[in-house]
Amino acid sequence: MKRVRRGLPFGFGATGAVVAAGLVATAIVATLTGLGAERLFLREQAARARDALDFHAVSLEGFLDKYRILPPLIARHPDVVAHFDAGTEKDGPAALRIAVTATAMTGADEVLFIDTDGTVLVASKPVADKNLANAPYFRAAMEGRLGRFLSFDAATERGSYLFAAPVRKDDAVIGVVVAKVSLEDVEQAWALSKDPVVATDLSGRIVLSNREDWRGRSLFGARGRALARATADAAPVVRSPKSHDGEFAFVNLPDEVGGGAHRYLEETAFLPLYDWTLRVYSDTALARAQMSNLVLTVLLAGLIATAGAGYLVDRRGRLSRQMRRERAAALRLERRVRDRTRELTLANARLASEVREREATEEELRRTQSELVQAAKLAALGQMSAALSHEFNQPLAAIRSYADNAALLIERDRKPEAAGNLSRIAALVDRMAGLSRHLKTFARKPEATTRPISVAPALSETLMLLGPRMRKAGVQVDVVQEAGDVVVDAGQVRLEQVLMNIVGNALDAVAGRADPMVRVDISKDSCDGIIAVSDNGPGISEADLAHIFDPFFTTKDVGEGLGLGLSIAYKIIQDFRGMIVAEARPEGGSVFTIRVPLSEPVRSAAE
Ligand code: ADP
């Protein structure tokens, strides 16, 4: 049977559809997740950076605030004022002691006393530059303000902060006190932050950073350096070059500060009190990595879910296909059983109708048979009546005429002739009595009793009775008897009656022949005595053979035969539990074979 595969063409089944849908859905979800997640992570990162920046700004301000008031305090000290006022030995040991003590007490890195012309009078540590007349913080202090300066030592690559305060006497500035603070501690605190944190001066130079190699570099490359040079102290706040993505501003740092392909989120805080810009950078690669991790996870989950769904759908499809196949097989089987049942039912019905027909036919047959039997009985009765009336009417008519004649003869006194007539009447009466006797035999009930009868004597008795007929026909009956007497279980008179009929028929058959022959063979086998009567008469036709034992069957002329002899003989032999068979002789004529069981004692003696 050709299988038709249902479903989508090109073998793209339900599983394929589910897998394709799953893949598309996974791709869409992954893309949306990527877009959304990156934004989310960036937002988180920005918030974190802002928090860090706030923290760093506050702690830096706190740190510097402590030192901001140090130079004014020292400048007001009477010893210091007195020292600058003395005008002599401004760089003497007393001044140095004060400077060293102040350094040790405040934790500042260095304390300097500077003359009004910018000459460094005393330094708690030896200094390279002895004249600071051009230093902006010195000038600010000389103007009566608090001088502030973020300095960067290129040699040590360390940043430090300088505060300068004027020493006054009677509103006149007589000197300047400078305190230098190391920013190493600040950097150490920043080291804990993994995002780059930088503090830039007005030119964009990195003065402080938690990245060792970033210090001293310009955050804005050549452009920044040029700006720094051009604007000197009055530089505006230099802004980072930024690219914007709606919500976020991304910064590409120059190569010298670990830039390259990295894009950073920048958070900036300007500390106006110190002319600083504090910046915290957050690498967007992190958000991207987080985003790609999430996307990968989503993709993986999507793929696993797709594979799972595909497997389930495939399994379901296979199961349902198998169920369909099984259902189809069951239906086929059911149909076959139904067809077969229908056939059987039909055959059954046919058989039943045949049986009914047969029964009807049988019934018909039985009816016809009984009708036939009835008809046959009636026919037999008619035949018999006809034969009997014929048989009896003739002698009765003869008797009547003989009686009339006898009466006339007696009247005329012709007694001897009358006696002759009477004796003829007597003979006719005898014949009629004989006929009647025959009929009686035929009608009588079978005699149950049998006794041992010697066949030969019975036969001689019969032949003696037949003597006149034999003589009349000129036939001599030959008797051939095997050695020993044959004694059968029979009745004397009845056996003689049978022999009389059979031998009589044989005599009738050969009557008129030139070479008449009638022979009786007496023999026996282990069970029966056998009497075979053969003649060379005309024989019996094949058609007649079937009927010769029927009552009233005769081929003889009316008045010569009654057709009862053989049927009576048949009945008698049957009573002896023997059998009688008529056959044609091969050499012409017929042979009647009578078999009668041997008498019991004889049989046992023979055995
Ligand atoms: P019936 O002698 O009165 O005719 P049976 O019953 O004795 O009656 O015989 C029936 C018929 O059988 C006879 O009419 C005759 O045709 C035939 N038949 C009997 N014996 C012989 C025989 N030996 N040869 C030829 N036909 C015979």
| Residue range 514-547, pLDDT digits in tens | 899 999 999 999 899 999 999 999 999 999 998 9
* Region at 192 (left for phi over 0; alpha for psi -120 to 50; beta for the rest): alpha
Tell me what pLDDT residue 523 has: 94
Tell me what pLDDT residue 150 has: 79
Residue nearest to atom 19 of ligand 1 (CA): 505
The three-class DSSP label of residue 261 is coil
- CB 293 less than 6 A from any atom of ligand 1: no
Residue nearest to atom 3 of ligand 1 (CA): 561
Are 74 and 165 contacting, i.e. CB atoms less than 8 angstroms apart? yes
| 3-state SS, one letter per residue, for 70-117 | HHHHHHHCHHHHHHHHHCCCCCCHHHHHHHHHHHHHHCCCEEEEECCC
- 480 strand-pairing partners: 521
Binning the chain into helix, strand and coil, the percentages to the nearest 5 are 55, 20, 25
- CB 536 less than 6 A from any atom of ligand 1: no
- CB 565 less than 6 A from any atom of ligand 1: yes
Share of the chain above pLDDT 70, in %: 86
From ligand 1's centre to the CA of 506, what distance in Å?
8
- Which token pair is 397? 């008519």
Residue nearest to atom 12 of ligand 1 (CA): 548
What letter would DSSP give residue 119? Answer: B
* CA–CA separation, 155 and 572 (whole Å): 170
- CB 553 less than 6 A from any atom of ligand 1: yes
Count of residues in the chain:
607
Tell me what pLDDT residue 2 has: 45
Are 568 and 437 contacting, i.e. CB atoms less than 8 angstroms apart? no
Q: Is residue 310 scored above 70 in pLDDT?
A: yes
From ligand 1's centre to the CA of 30, what distance in Å?
126
Band of pLDDT at residue 231, cut at 50, 70 and 90: very low
Residue nearest to atom 26 of ligand 1 (CA): 540
From ligand 1's centre to the CA of 42, what distance in Å?
143
- CB 561 less than 6 A from any atom of ligand 1: yes
Tens digits of per-residue pLDDT, 287-306?
Answer: 888 888 988 999 999 999 99
593 or 14, which is more confident?
593
Tens digits of per-residue pLDDT, 468-484?
Answer: 888 888 899 999 997 68
Mean model confidence pLDDT for the chain: 83
Closest CA relative to residue 490, chosen from 454, 521, 459: 454
Atom of ligand 1 nearest to the CA of 502: 20
Tens digits of per-residue pLDDT, 117-167?
Answer: 888 888 888 777 778 888 888 999 898 888 888 777 777 777 788 899 999
Return the amino acid letter for 527: C
- CB 562 less than 6 A from any atom of ligand 1: yes
From ligand 1's centre to the CA of 555, what distance in Å?
7
- CB 509 less than 6 A from any atom of ligand 1: yes
Tens digits of per-residue pLDDT, 43-87?
Answer: 888 888 889 888 888 888 888 888 888 889 888 888 888 888 876
Ligand 1: which of 435, 501, 548, 552 to mutate, judged by most atoms within 8 Å of the beta carbon? 548
Atom of ligand 1 nearest to the CA of 505: 20
From ligand 1's centre to the CA of 535, what distance in Å?
12
Ligand 1: which of 383, 435, 439, 505 to mutate, judged by most atoms within 8 Å of the beta carbon? 505
Atom of ligand 1 nearest to the CA of 537: 24
560 or 563, which is more confident?
563
Atom of ligand 1 nearest to the CA of 538: 25
Closest CA relative to residue 544, chosen from 503, 509, 517: 509
Q: Which of 279-283, 357-361, 371-375 has the highest mean pLDDT?
A: 357-361
